[in-house]
């Protein structure tokens, strides 16, 4: 069964602001409704990536949680701007695609992919106000 890796953030008019929640769900819309019930601020899905199964989604989620560990507020909520979270998520997906293209082999050249791509200016990420 496919799962989605999602980024949820506080909705503003227009756009989104931090903090962000990075998680996985088979149905991100249903998960959003559950989270909204306990949140006094309006939240929305900023971005989703559909993955083949829960294990693959969990791998990406854990990678992002490790990368953002110093910004963890509580649980899966991180005190970062949405642009930064999306940037890391896109870099993680590119790394995954490159590893798959290499037959799943770990290439030492891929080690610096996430670190190098973190230096891409977050302002260059387009369309951050779109919900998936």
Residue pLDDT, tens place only, 59-99: 888 888 888 889 999 999 999 988 888 888 888 777 777 77
Domains in the chain: boundaries: 3-124
What is d(CA 4, CA 43) in angstroms, rounded to the nearest whole number? 17
The model's pLDDT over 96-121, given as tens digits with 9 standing for 90+, comes to 777 777 776 554 445 455 445 544 43
Q: Is the pLDDT of residue 124 over 90?
A: no
Q: Is the pLDDT of residue 37 over 50?
A: yes
Q: Is the pLDDT of residue 55 over 50?
A: yes
Decide: 46 and 12 in contact? Cβ < 8 Å: no
Decide: 86 and 13 in contact? Cβ < 8 Å: no
* Strand arrangement of the beta sheet that strand 77-78 belongs to: 43-51, 3-11, 16-25, 77-78, 72-74
- Reference 93, options 44, 67, 129, 60; nearest CA is 60
């Amino acid at each position: 069964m496919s799962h989605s890796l999602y980024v949820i953030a506080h909705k503003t008019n227009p756009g989104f602001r931090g903090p962000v929640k990075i998680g996985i769900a088979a149905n991100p819309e249903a998960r959003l409704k559950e989270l909204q019930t306990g949140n006094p601020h309006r939240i929305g899905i900023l971005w989703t990536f559909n993955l083949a199964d829960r294990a693959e989604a969990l791998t990406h989620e854990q990678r992002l949680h490790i990368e953002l560990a110093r910004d963890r507020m509580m649980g899966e909520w991180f005190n970062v701007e949405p642009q930064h979270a999306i940037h890391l998520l896109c870099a993680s997906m590119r790394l995954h695609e490159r590893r798959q293209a290499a037959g799943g082999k770990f290439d030492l050249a891929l080690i610096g992919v996430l670190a190098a791509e973190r230096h891409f200016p977050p302002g260059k990420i387009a369309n951050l106000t779109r919900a998936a």
